[in-house]
Chains A and B, each alone.
Chain A
Amino acid sequence: MKTQKKIMLTGNKAAAWGARMAGVEYVPAFPITPQTEIVETLAKWFADGTLQGKFTNMDSEHSMFMAAGSAGATGVRVFTASSSQGILHGMESLYTITGWRTPMVIVNVSRALATPITLEPDHNDVMSTRDCGLIQLHAETCQEVFDFILMGYRISEDPEVCLPVLVNLDGFYLSFTREPVLIPDEKDVRNFLPLYTATQPVFQASRPMARASAVFGGATYTSFKLQQELAARHAEKSFNQVAQDFKKYFGRFYGPLETFHLDDAEYVFVMSNSFATKGKSAVIKLRQQGIKAGLLKLRLFRPFPSEAIASALGGCAKVAVIDQNLAPGMGGITYPEIVTSLYSRKDRPEKILSVIGGLGGKDIEDQDFMAIIDHLDKPDRGTPLYLYDEGDVKGFNRLQQIAKFNEALK
């Protein structure tokens, strides 16, 4: 195996290192907590000559994603990062540039969405980009953040994909958390990921072209949209090929899913991102108490690896899909996707429970996992299971009293 140095890095620094090792040439940026450390780090590296290219301070995420897309269409390797409200502000641009079919890697540092405004994480921001046409990789560790960025460029630049790849990491729990990360030599990375050469026509004087022109008529629109769908679906194949290649070069292998004590599990937690670590810990503790728990972690979220999920969960008795997001009036966003994947299987689980937890950075504790196990054994109550307890209610009541203190005196 090639030499790799192991250093303590935050998730954000790991993201910056991923971009640096990928040899990014262009970073349009706009600050937002908890992402800012990524672009600050890259700004410094462009400023001191560590990275060759350009770092441009943009005026909004809407502008930032647009500049990222147009630079991609002009033939440079682009990186940018955002979070939360920034993703929403840039949403129009995100849909626009995925349709341009130009490669890039975007890092999203997950943070809950207003209202109320908060800095702490959940996944409503990244879920809002679910239908844009982005490829999404969700990271549990700082190492995955770094590795997924390198893999992301390979997938994004695959001529049969040409869609932006979004790498997701949780704010605070990963963005500001340091842990050891293996960083390979740059020359080894170059073998895995050569410097960028566009495989599609790019803007330059000798190649006049019109891109993203309007269409009239649903048939033409459908034709282009279906091509986007095919490219996105192809990205699963691309992911698996790139993962093999990545293992060959760097010794770490990533499937679209990670299974943890799943083989004989009677109770399965489906999770993603950094809280999956908490889930793994709970699985170990539950097993020590004689409860056969297991965990399925989603890494590749778009394209959605339905077949792989169905194979992993087929035959499991009881499954809890833990969504750290909320679609009010519906519940968890990944829950129906998991259920859909399993629908046609004869050995589908007898019970699939929707669980909502971790909103706005709220912790998911061991006792929460135990409560999920309890509810997997109870009849359905017609709503998702909310990880919200008596203590939360009491605490909230205290705040309400302060919020209307003078009102109470009247």
Chain B
Amino acid sequence: MWRIRIHGRGGQGIKTASQILGSAGFYSGFQAQDFPLYGAERRGAPVIAFTRISEDIILERGPISSPDIILIGDETLLNDPQSAPLCGAEPTTLIFVNSSHTPESLSQKFSLITANLNDLCLQHLNNRTVYSSALSAVGARLLGNIDLQDLLQAVEDELTPHGISSSALKGNLDLAREIFASLQPVDILRKEEKVLTAKSLVLPSQLPVVDGAPIILEPGNMALRKTGNWRVERPEIDYEKCNNCLICYARCPDGVIGIAPDGRPEIDYDHCKGCLICAQECPGHFIHTVREMGTFP
């Protein structure tokens, strides 16, 4: 069995990528299973999806904690604690990152494969952040046991229900074809089955109600959760031109634009989700946007 885990963000087509890969595997004669992990998080937030492809019956369900292949659509997630794309990776795990950086610059611990999918996506889809076809093509090619025709059929079958136009479908097929041709299959080492050991189970002790019931006594502690990692693009205020009208402050749904003591608006990048309403609404267009790159160390 090959276990594939795909990481990206809400809106990047990560679930669809897992489905294209699942269908492609199925069309190539394998047993297949795919499913997304639905958290509460939304567009821009980290998303994980899974595909299992096997010659035999698949006797597994649920998340893949120990993947054979990890496909990472968004390099900014590499060190994200919530997404944790490298969690469960072993030296034998094949890890692909959509990045223009060299593998060595991204990780010392693991040997990665990198390729920049953004430009290809832009070229074929006129959109640089939808990776459903691109990532599934990467996965199918690296696996080496999926036919190109099966992959293309899967792209068509999975994208059609989304109401995709015929030109957009053609773009996706071309994209998949180009990526498939540009990569070579990689030998994936099968993991050795480990000897089962029993968990040590505990009888929980009874807690006072304040701990034993869902009660939170720390008002506003949501700020501990950093939603800055949702951002694909970062709004930046041009303070040279900003006239402190505070429209951006008023319009920010998450309230992450504060007012500094000197009256200037200030963006809290730890939490800014990158909706970019501020940039859109700034009357003088003094907030410009920059693509988030290299948030990894």
B window 111-141: CB within 8 A of A: none
B window 193-212: CB within 8 A of A: 204-212
| A101 at the binding interface (Cβ < 8 Å) | yes
| A45 at the binding interface (Cβ < 8 Å) | no
Other-chain residue from B206, B211, B215 in contact with A211 (beta carbon distance below 8 A): B215
Contact B214 A215 (CB under 8 A): yes
| B217 at the binding interface (Cβ < 8 Å) | yes
| B39 at the binding interface (Cβ < 8 Å) | yes
Contact B206 A99 (CB under 8 A): no
In the complex with contacts A211-B215, A224-B214, A159-B204 CB distance below 8 A: no
| A54 at the binding interface (Cβ < 8 Å) | no
Contact B210 A201 (CB under 8 A): yes
User: Chain A contacts of B208 at CB under 8 A?
Assistant: 159, 200
| B163 at the binding interface (Cβ < 8 Å) | no
| B260 at the binding interface (Cβ < 8 Å) | no
| A226 at the binding interface (Cβ < 8 Å) | yes
Other-chain residue from B210, B212, B214, B217 in contact with A231 (beta carbon distance below 8 A): B212
Contact with B along A178-222 (1 / 0, CB 8 A): 000000000000000000000111000001111111111000000
| A281 at the binding interface (Cβ < 8 Å) | no
| B57 at the binding interface (Cβ < 8 Å) | no
A77 to B209, CA, bound (A): 17
In the complex with contacts A208-B219, A214-B40, A160-B213 CB distance below 8 A: no
| B186 at the binding interface (Cβ < 8 Å) | no
Contact B213 A210 (CB under 8 A): no
In the complex with contacts A227-B204, A231-B206, A213-B216 CB distance below 8 A: yes
The chain B residue with its CB closest to the CB of A101 is B213
Give the Cβ gap from B223 to chain A, nearest Cβ, in Å.
14
Contact B209 A162 (CB under 8 A): yes
The chain B residue with its CB closest to the CB of A199 is B209
A213 to B216, CA, bound (A): 8
User: Chain A contacts of B40 at CB under 8 A?
Assistant: 214, 216
Contact with A along B264-293 (1 / 0, CB 8 A): 000000000000000000000000000000
Contact B214 A212 (CB under 8 A): yes
| A176 at the binding interface (Cβ < 8 Å) | no
Contact B210 A224 (CB under 8 A): no
Other-chain residue from A208, A226, A227, A234 in contact with B213 (beta carbon distance below 8 A): A227
A162 to B210, CA, bound (A): 11
| A100 at the binding interface (Cβ < 8 Å) | yes
Contact with A along B73-108 (1 / 0, CB 8 A): 000000000000000000000000000000000000
In the complex with contacts A214-B40, A216-B39, A216-B40, A201-B215 CB distance below 8 A: yes
| A327 at the binding interface (Cβ < 8 Å) | no
A224 to B215, CA, bound (A): 11
| A223 at the binding interface (Cβ < 8 Å) | yes
User: Chain B contacts of A99 at CB under 8 A?
Assistant: 213-214
Contact B206 A230 (CB under 8 A): yes
User: Chain B contacts of A200 at CB under 8 A?
Assistant: 208-210, 213, 215
- Count contacts on A: residues with CB < 8 A to the other chain: 27
Give the Cβ gap from B211 to chain A, nearest Cβ, in Å.
8
Contact A210 B204 (CB under 8 A): no
Give the Cβ gap from A241 to chain B, nearest Cβ, in Å.
16
A85 to B222, CA, bound (A): 41
A406 to B212, CA, bound (A): 63
The chain B residue with its CB closest to the CB of A226 is B204
User: Chain B contacts of A162 at CB under 8 A?
Assistant: 209, 213
A226 to B213, CA, bound (A): 10
User: Chain B contacts of A207 at CB under 8 A?
Assistant: 217
Other-chain residue from A101, A208, A215, A223 in contact with B209 (beta carbon distance below 8 A): A101
Contact B207 A210 (CB under 8 A): no
Contact B213 A224 (CB under 8 A): yes
Contact A211 B214 (CB under 8 A): yes
The chain B residue with its CB closest to the CB of A227 is B212
A393 to B219, CA, bound (A): 65
The chain A residue with its CB closest to the CB of B208 is A159
The chain B residue with its CB closest to the CB of A229 is B204
In the complex with contacts A214-B40, A216-B39, A227-B212, A234-B206 CB distance below 8 A: yes
Other-chain residue from A159, A201, A213, A230 in contact with B214 (beta carbon distance below 8 A): A213
User: Chain B contacts of A159 at CB under 8 A?
Assistant: 208-209
Contact B215 A227 (CB under 8 A): no
The chain B residue with its CB closest to the CB of A209 is B217
Contact B206 A227 (CB under 8 A): yes
Give the Cβ gap from A162 to chain B, nearest Cβ, in Å.
5
A199 to B204, CA, bound (A): 22
A224 to B212, CA, bound (A): 6
The chain A residue with its CB closest to the CB of B220 is A208
A230 to B204, CA, bound (A): 8
7 A-B interface contacts by CB (under 8 A) = A200-B213, A201-B217, A210-B219, A227-B206, A230-B204, A230-B212, A231-B209
- Which A residues contact B (CB, under 8 angstroms)? 99-101, 159-160, 162, 199-201, 207-216, 223-224, 226-228, 230-231, 234
Nearest first, the 9 A-B pairs at minimum CB distance are A227-B212, A101-B213, A210-B216, A230-B206, A208-B219, A200-B209, A162-B209, A101-B209, A226-B204
Given pairs A209-B216, A227-B204, A230-B212, 9 additional interface contacts (CB within 8 A):
A100-B213, A199-B209, A209-B217, A211-B213, A212-B213, A212-B214, A214-B40, A230-B205, A231-B212
